[in-house]
Amino acid sequence: MTTSGLAQSRPLPFRDFTKDAIGQLRIATDFNESADVIIHEGDCLEFLSTIPSGKIKMAITSPPYNLGKEYENKLDLDEYLQWQKKVIGECVRTLSDDGSICWEVGNYVENGRIIPLDILVYPIFNSLGLKLRNRIIWRFGHGLHASKRFSGRYETILWFTKTDDYTFNLDDVRVPSKYPDKRHFKGPKKGQLSCNPLGKNPTDVWEIPNVKSNHIEKTIHPCQFPVELVERLVLSLTDRGDWILDPFMGVGSAPIASLIHGRKAIGIELMHEYVEVALERIRKAEKGELLIRPMEREVFDPNGSAKKIPPKKVKIDMDTIQQTL
């Protein structure tokens, strides 16, 4: 039986957990085209095999870094990379030809030395024929303080595409220009604005606060994705109605970023307590009660004069999601 046939042959166990909410969101635990969001508790490799090939527009995740945290079993480095190769291979299989895969990683730590995981996983993607478009640096201001090396304050997102014909909506993620009134001073365009009126390209260095104890989105997860980090990738690399996959969902930041922008989402997570938190966050988003840090909010500068933008309540874009069925 093909993987597509396997996925289509399964019944759809919708989970009605939003009785006190609007109750329109179709949540499933197994793959089915008619679901709005699929939240699967279990092993990602087992579930990935049930997703039809070419169905996913973007796979985005931050896999376990093999540090021995509560949600991972520490493996020998070679074993870890072999496991990652299997997961990456299945994710690539599910991608549409115009799709993208974004792999967010930090460092593997062994006996006090660091090994950058993006360097180790790049050959896996390259062997599968994927094309690296950007190595995005995610910079954040807070973290553990090292004593025998400089304190780490960034991680990397490897953005690959399956082909050269891929979705890239730059206008949807432009940021304010540094000099919005700058004009050409000579030539045929003299006096005209020299910058794009929609804003500038965000570049490949992103300064976004990580989710620490005082972050509005903080949950029980120790290494939680900020929603705005995923939002920028959702908006730029997918279109409304597309499927987005996170094989290591954690507490659901990727599904939330997808749903509030009219995309459909699949999240896979092994730990039951994280699944429950993800479902609760989705329930709040359906009701329009989930608070997140706004994308347009600048990083706090105690000496700056930037406008302070408070956390915002977000709501799932039900009309767009369900119009695509």
Across 169-180, average pLDDT: 90
What are the tens digits of pLDDT across the range 225-239?
Answer: 899 999 999 999 999
Whether the predicted pLDDT of 15 surpasses 70: no
> Which position has the token pair 């993208």?
100
Predicted TM-score (pTM) of the model is 0.86
Give the chain's domains with CATH numbers: 3-323 (3.40.50.150)
Looking at residue 127, what is its pLDDT? 97
Q: Choose the weakest-confidence range: 1-10, 98-107, 268-277, 316-325.
A: 1-10
Whether the predicted pLDDT of 74 surpasses 70: no
Mean pLDDT score of the chain, rounded to an integer?
Answer: 86
**143-172 per-residue burial string, b: 16 or more CB within 10 A, e: under 16:** eeeeeeeeeeeebbbbbbbbeeebbeeeeb
Looking at residue 1, what is its pLDDT? 29
pLDDT above 70 coverage of the chain, percent? 88
pLDDT above 90 coverage of the chain, percent? 59
Q: Do the Cβ atoms of 190 and 202 come closer than 8 Å?
A: no
Whether the predicted pLDDT of 93 surpasses 60: yes
Integer Cα distance of 248 and 270 in angstroms: 8
